């Protein structure tokens, strides 16, 4: 924070003594001696209470002295600092200091819009102020206003041309703004002016790599290659990794194919396990593995990969890639060799490696046949090769494991859960101490529809090694899926901080899977407030990710890691593409829609016993807190104040929102940007806009969903719903006309005919058909349609079907359980209780009943 002394207005001028004090206030702030700074500011304000700049610096000093995260006692002080900064503006609106302080405080609370306005006003008052300029271009970059950032950087360069970061910062700003030629000119000027810039060797390498990439973006491949080769010759760049990759790509783009191949060969010698290097090498020969290959091209690819497999015998990559392109008998031979090699070596991840082939139904069937064949040969103690070699004893164990996972893969037309469990039981008799087998058993039970049995199996895996954090997390996840939140939190507490709850620690650690799984568990248990609390916590994590990038705008400039900096910005721009955000946002929106349709869900229904228990627990907690505070006072110890307690730990305020649709739309808007290619985004958008009465937007959502997939999940029920809503809607003539002209292209005909056609398109089609019939008022037709799901059991869809017709839940569950005997999620309460008792006796593991209250 600087303060110029020239041309000071009369209302801002201070006598010599107070002027010295003001400088001391600035020095105390910069030295982080906040108490002394506040004391000195008070001395000035005692005589000059309306001095705006002193008020502003005092506000900033108070704010900087507060702890993070805020504590109960610091919140009023933070509010006082905010109010003081605004008073300072009123006292002196023409001071860059008052506006700069307001901007800093706004930036601290992540109010980027107000911070931008404040910094702009500060620059208007003092255009050449260096601290203001630094904050201005960092914030402009953060808010993706790259043109403004480039302008601020250029001004900064004019003021500080002797500093290398001024030149390089402007170069990066032009790159971000898309003006690559101007960025190259800045770097060339920088080279000519600052011959000795004092950069270290790694820094020079980073800068040169960034410049080379800027040449490539400007489509100046030859210039990029010349700079790269000169950098290697001068020893600035090392001919390894990224440098060689860029060189190979540039040579290929310039048509120097032979040299490009040589460069890719160098890459493969450096890292023969990188799958992408093989693909790029083959692409340089005109063989693109990402597209369809004819027989001749396939033969060339297989021949090249066979040569690499011979050259790099210890590498798996050249042996795995042929499986992606080979077909027929050739695929069969290669796949058998690959499977045998993995099973003999006991590679646990073999199935994860191979299941990528399962998008091709023929290859999936071939892998299954080969595995069955290998199992039979191993059971008969035959050699897996055309010789007398004896396979290792663990080969059969891993073959059972692989086959079990294959039998229950979601892409198989008909899962064989019972046989998979039989194979795993045989494997457990063979080796009862291998966690992977218990984990596989848990996965099979989960997919079979027995979450409680799966949780017990995963718990048994956890108990094999109580110090394994991965197994602990897996077991907790399965208990959450079984609905036992208390048990899950107790397990997680074994690996979290001891001075806080597992939930709080995992939330602070931004553990996405936990927040998502516990939110889903609470939803299934009917605790919608808790569910929203977890979902909103996960959404907040992504906002924190976005906000946390601010510090890197200056850090990466200092460290000169420009390429990584641009990668960070690209990642942040696509942050909410993460599947966890999509799943969580859709789940939270579904709850808000349910609340909008049925406000009674916000009223918690407790039995008298539950209400008494809650009051008893609250009273006990209050007594314990009072006792602890009294003990702390009596001991005389000064205990560090904790953070501000959560004002809504149960999510009651979230649940009782007065604007559920508005809250849901806040979650939906990022989906419409980052998940626009997912039909579920637009079907969900329709549900919100239709209920809000925004029929034009609702029609747009339906058109987008239909354009992406005419058979998208939920689209037919949404179209039927839209048609029904239009009957009672009073719309403007032009809106009605636009809808009438468009809707027939999306839905036309009787609901019964449309539902019958949709029901022929797999289990999801059956579910959509039932929902459409129900919306049309045909309850009996909907029930009969839902019963058809039992013909080709799909556990997830059948569980969803139970929510479509609550009045028929018992009958539907009975039919589904008959069709899928292992699916105890459809068992009656009596059957479920018997099953739980059987599991307790089988596993002899303690189970904690109840639900969490924190």
> What is the 3-class SS of 175-223, one letter each residue?
HHCCCHHHHHHHHHHHHHHCCCCCCCHHHHHHHHHHHHHHHHHCCCHHH
The pLDDT, as a whole number, for residue 381 is 85
Tell me the C-alpha distance between 230 and 205, whole Å. 12
Give me the torsion for CA of 492, 451, 578, 710, rounded to 10°. Answer: -170
The pLDDT, as a whole number, for residue 853 is 36
Could you identify the residue written with the tokens 């990794």? 241
* Residue 358, preceding peptide bond in cis (omega within 30° of 0): no
The pLDDT, as a whole number, for residue 498 is 85
Tell me the C-alpha distance between 453 and 690, whole Å. 41
Q: How far is CA 348 from the centre of its chain?
A: 27
Spatial contact of 773 and 782, defined as CB atoms under 8 Å apart: yes
The pLDDT, as a whole number, for residue 850 is 37
Q: What is the largest CA-CA distance in the chain?
A: 102
Tell me the C-alpha distance between 505 and 493, whole Å. 9
DSSP secondary structure code for residue 546 in this structure: H
Q: Which residues contact 52 (CB under 8 A, 6 or more apart)?
A: 12, 88, 89, 90, 91, 92, 95, 97, 98
Q: What average pLDDT is seen over the chain?
A: 91
The pLDDT, as a whole number, for residue 634 is 60
Tokens representing 462 are 């956890």
In Å, how far are 166, 199, 222, 289 from 204, measured between CA atoms? Answer: 16, 6, 21, 36
- Let me know how long the chain is: 854
Listed in sequence order, the DSSP H helices in 346-468 are 350-354, 361-379, 394-407, 417-430, 435-448, 451-464
* Cα dihedral across residues 621, 622, 623, 626: positive or negative: positive
pLDDT beneath 50, residues of the chain: 4-5, 847-854
Q: What angle do CA 386, 390, 391 make, to 5 degrees?
A: 95
Tell me the C-alpha distance between 498 and 400, whole Å. 41
In Å, how far are 3, 245, 249 from 260, measured between CA atoms? Answer: 58, 9, 7
Entry pTM:
0.91
Tell me the C-alpha distance between 608 and 624, whole Å. 24
């Amino acid at each position: 924070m600087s303060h110029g002394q020239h041309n000071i207005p009369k209302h801002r001028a201070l006598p010599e003594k107070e002027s010295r004090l003001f400088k001391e206030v600035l020095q105390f702030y910069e030295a982080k001696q906040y108490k002394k700074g506040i004391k000195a500011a008070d001395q000035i304000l005692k005589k000059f209470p309306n001095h705006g700049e002193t008020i502003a610096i005092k506000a900033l000093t108070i704010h900087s002295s507060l702890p993070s995260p805020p504590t109960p006692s610091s919140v009023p002080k933070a509010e006082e600092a905010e109010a003081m900064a605004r008073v300072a503006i009123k006292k002196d609106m023409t001071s860059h200091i008052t506006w700069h302080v307001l901007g800093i405080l706004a930036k601290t609370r992540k109010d980027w819009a107000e911070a931008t306005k404040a910094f702009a006003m500060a620059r208007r008052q003092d255009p050449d102020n260096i601290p203001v300029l630094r904050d201005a271009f960092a914030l402009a970059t953060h808010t993706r206003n790259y043109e403004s950032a480039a302008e601020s950087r250029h001004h900064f360069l004019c003021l500080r041309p002797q500093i290398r970061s001024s030149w390089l910062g402007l170069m990066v700003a032009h790159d971000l703004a898309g003006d690559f030629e101007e960025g190259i000119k800045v770097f060339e000027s920088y080279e000519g002016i600052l011959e000795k810039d004092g950069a270290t060797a790694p820094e020079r390498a980073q800068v040169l790599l960034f410049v080379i990439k800027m040449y490539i973006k400007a489509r100046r491949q030859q210039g990029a290659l010349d700079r790269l080769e000169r950098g290697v010759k001068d020893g600035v760049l090392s001919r390894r990794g990224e440098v060689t990759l860029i060189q190979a790509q540039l040579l290929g783009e310039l048509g120097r194919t032979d040299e490009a191949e040589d460069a890719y060969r160098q890459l493969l010698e450096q890292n023969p396990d990188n799958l992408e290097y093989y693909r790029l090498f083959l692409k340089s020969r005109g063989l693109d593995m990402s597209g369809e290959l004819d027989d001749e091209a396939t033969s060339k690819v297989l021949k090249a990969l066979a040569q690499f497999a011979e050259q790099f015998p210890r590498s798996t990559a050249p042996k795995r890639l042929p499986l992606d392109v080979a077909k027929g008998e050739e695929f069969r031979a290669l796949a058998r060799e690959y499977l045998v090699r993995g099973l003999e070596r006991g590679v646990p991840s073999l199935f994860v490696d191979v299941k990528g082939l399962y998008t091709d139904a023929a290859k999936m069937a071939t892998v299954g046949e080969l595995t069955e064949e290998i199992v039979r040969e191993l059971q008969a103690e035959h050699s897996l090769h055309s010789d007398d070699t004896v396979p290792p004893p663990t080969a059969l164990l891993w073959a059972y494991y692989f086959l079990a996972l294959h039998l229950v893969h979601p892409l198989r037309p008909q899962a064989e859960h019972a046989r998979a469990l039989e194979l795993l039981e045989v494997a457990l008799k063979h080796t009862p101490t291998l966690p992977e087998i218990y984990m596989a058993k848990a996965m099979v039970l989960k997919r079979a529809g027995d979450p409680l049995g799966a949780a017990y199996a995963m718990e048994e895996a956890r108990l094999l090694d109580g110090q394994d954090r991965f197994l602990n997390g897996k077991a907790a996840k399965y208990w959450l899926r079984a609905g036992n939140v208390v048990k899950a939190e107790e397990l997680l507490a074994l690996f979290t901080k001891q001075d806080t709850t597992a939930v709080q620690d995992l939330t602070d650690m931004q553990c996405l899977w936990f927040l998502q799984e516990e939110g889903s568990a609470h939803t299934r248990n009917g605790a919608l407030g808790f569910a929203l609390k977890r979902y909103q916590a996960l959404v907040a994590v992504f906002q924190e990710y976005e906000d946390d990038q601010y510090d890197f705008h200056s850090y990466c400039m200092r460290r000169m890691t420009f390429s990584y900096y641009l990668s960070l910005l690209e990642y942040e721009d696509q942050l909410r593409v993460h599947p966890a955000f999509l799943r969580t946002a859709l789940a939270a929106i579904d709850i808000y829609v349910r609340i909008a349709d049925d406000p009674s869900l916000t009223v918690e229904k407790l039995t008298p016993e539950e209400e008494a228990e809650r009051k008893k627990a609250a009273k006990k907690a209050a007594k314990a807190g009072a006792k602890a505070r009294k003990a702390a006072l009596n001991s005389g110890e000064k205990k560090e104040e904790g953070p501000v307690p959560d004002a809504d730990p149960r999510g009651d305020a979230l649940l009782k929102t007065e604007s559920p649709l508005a809250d849901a739309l806040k979650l939906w808007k990022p989906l419409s940007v980052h998940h626009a290619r997912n039909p579920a985004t637009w079907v969900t958008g329709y549900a919100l806009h239709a209920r809000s009465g925004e029929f034009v937007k609702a029609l747009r959502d339906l058109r987008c969903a239909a354009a992406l997939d005419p058979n998208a999940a939920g689209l037919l029920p949404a179209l039927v719903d839209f048609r029904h809503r239009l009957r009672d809607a009073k719309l403007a003539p032009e809106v009605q006309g636009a809808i009438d002209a468009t809707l027939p292209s999306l839905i036309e005909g009787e609901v019964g005919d449309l539902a019958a056609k949709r029901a022929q398109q797999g289990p999801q089609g059956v579910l959509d058909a039932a929902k459409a019939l129900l919306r049309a008022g045909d309850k009996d037709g909907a029930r009969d349609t839902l019963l058809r799901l039992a013909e080709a059991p799909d556990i997830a869809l059948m569980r969803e079907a139970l929510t479509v017709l609550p009045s028929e839940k018992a009958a539907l569950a009975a039919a589904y359980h008959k069709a899928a005997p292992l699916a105890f999620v459809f068992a009656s309460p009596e059957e479920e209780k018997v099953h739980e008792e059987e599991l307790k006796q089988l596993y002899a593991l303690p189970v904690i009943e109840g639900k969490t209250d924190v």
